[in-house]
Structure 1
Amino acid sequence: MQTPLRRYLLAGSVFVLAACSSVSVKTDYDQSVAFAQYRSYTLAPSTEAVGLSPSSEAALSATLRNQLAARGVEEVGENGDLHIVRHISTKEKLSINQSSAGGPYRYGAWAGGPQYTDVSQYTEGTLILDFVDSKTRKLVFRGIASGTVGDPEANAAKIKEAVEKIVANYPHPHTGQ
C-alpha cells in the first residue's frame, strides 16, 4: 500500500524529470491514413530563410534516418512515398521573474522588503516536420518541436532530441498507433 507521502514523492519526481526536457514536442496525424503504405521517404531541401547550421542539419538527417528506419521507413533519393518538409523559425523572447528579499515566507520586517525583477532575453527555435504523401500531396503527419537556441553543439543535441520525440509519435506502420 502506498502512503500519500510516497505518492506525492513519486509524482514530484516524475514532474521533475519531465521538466528536465529541453525540447517540447506536439504531434498530430490523419487517423484515416494507413501508415503501412509508407516504406520510404525523401527529405525535401530547405527553402527557409533561416536555416540550420551544418551540425544541426547533420543531426536532423541522421536522426530521421535512424529513427524512421527502426519503423521500417527508409530514406531514398527522390521518389519516396513520403516527402518530409522541414520548417525552421526563431523568435526573440523575454523571461521575467519577480522575487522579494524575504522569499515566499515573509515575516516581520521582511514583509515589506524590496522586490527584485530579473529580466532575461533568449531565442526560441521551432522545428516543424511535415510528412506529406508524395502521391496525393496530402499532409498525413506533423511534428512541432520548440526549445531554446544556444551554441551549435547544444542546438544539434536539441535537434536530435526533437526528431527522436517527433518520430516516437509517428504511427507505427503495422499497428497504425
Structure 2
Amino acid sequence: MKTRYLMNKKGYLVALFSLALTACSSVSVSTDYDQEADFSRLNGFNWLPESAVVEKESAYLNNRIMDERITKAIDKQLVAQGFNFASTADFYINYSITAEKKTDIRTYDNYSGYGPSWGWGVGYGHRGMSLSAHTETRIDEYQQGSLIIDVIDPKSLELIWRGIGSKRLPESTDAAEMDKLVADVVKSILVKFPPKVK
C-alpha cells in the first residue's frame, strides 16, 4: 500500500483510526438471478466439471492454496444451509475472483484545541479563547477484491444465480486470518441464496 500523509501528529492518529474502521468494514454484496428458474427444487450440488470451467482470473488470489480455501468454505456454507453434495446434482457451483486497484482520498478538518487570542472591537479591546483548525488530507491506495459465486443449471449449463461479494483486501495476513476472511465473504454471499422469489 502506498500512503502519503499531509498532516500533523494528531491528524496521523485520526487517519489510523479511519484505516482501522475500513479494515473492519462489512462485505458489500450484490446478487442477480434468472426469474424463470425454479429454486425450490434445488437440493444436491456439485462443482462445475473441469471441462466447462472458465479459467479463474485474479491478480491477487490466483493460487492453489487459496483455491482450496475458497472451495472448502463454499462447500461448508452450502451444507450449513441445508444443501447436500451429490454426484447427480440439481445445480453446479463455480467461482471466480478479481482484484482492482483503488484510491481513497479523505480530507479532515482537524481541530487542534483552544488557545489565547486577542481581538478588537470599535473602541474596545478584548481577550478570549479561539478554536484553531486546519485541513489534513490522506491518500490511500489499496486492492479491492471481489469473489463471484455462480449457480449453474447442470443440463443447460446456463447461469441461474450469481452473488458477488467485495471487500478491501489486507496487505498481509496469516493463514488463520485468511481462512476467517474467506469464510466471512462466502457466508455473506451465500446467505442470499436461494433468492426469495415472490
TM over 0.5: yes
Higher helix share: 1
Q: Deviations over 1:37-91 (max 9, x none)?
A: 32222223561242444453333222222221234422345x5332212121101
Equivalent of residue 108 in structure 2, options 82, 99, 102: 99
Q: CA shift at 1:147, angstroms?
A: 0.7
Flag the 1:164–1:46 CA change in 2: closer, same or farther, 3 A.
farther
Hey, what does 1:5 align to over in structure 2?
Answer: none
Amino acid in the other structure paired with 1:47: E
Residue 136 of structure 1 aligns to a residue whose secondary structure is coil
Structural RMSD (CA): 3.0
1:122 matched to 2:145: no
1:171 partner SS: coil
The question of whether the paired residues in 2 share the 8 Å contact of 1:22 and 1:148 is answered with no
Residue 86 of structure 1 pairs with residue 90 of structure 2: no
Correspondence for 2:66 among 56, 59, 62: 56
Alpha-carbon contact 1:36-1:176 (below 8 Å) kept: no
Counterparts of residues 126-145 of structure 1 (less than 5 Å): 126-145=146-165
**Structure 1 counterpart SS, 2:184:** helix
In 1, the alpha carbon distance for the partners of 2:166 and 2:190 equals 15
Q: Give the secondary-structure state (helix, strand or coil) at the position aligned to 2:111.
A: coil
Aligned residues with identical type, % of pairs: 25
Change (3 A) 1:21 1:121: closer
- Extract unaligned runs of 5+ from structure 1: 1-18
CA contact (8 A) 2:97 2:148 kept: yes
Q: Could you say which residue in structure 2 is the equivalent of 1:34?
A: 38
* Distance in 1 of aligned mates of 2:147 and 2:138: 28
Give yes or no for contact 1:40–1:75 (8 Å, CA) kept in 2: yes
Structure 2 gaps of 5+ residues are 1-22, 113-128
AA partner of residue 74 (structure 1): N
C-alpha distance after superposition, 1:86-129 (max 9, x if no partner): 121101111111113327xxx9462xx43211111111101111
Relative to structure 1, is the Cα distance of residues 101 and 169 closer, same or farther in structure 2, using a 3 angstrom cutoff? Answer: closer
Instruction: Please report the TM-score for the alignment, with normalisation by the length of structure 2.
Output: 0.63
Equivalent residue number for residue 171 of structure 1:
194
**Partner SS for 1:90:** strand
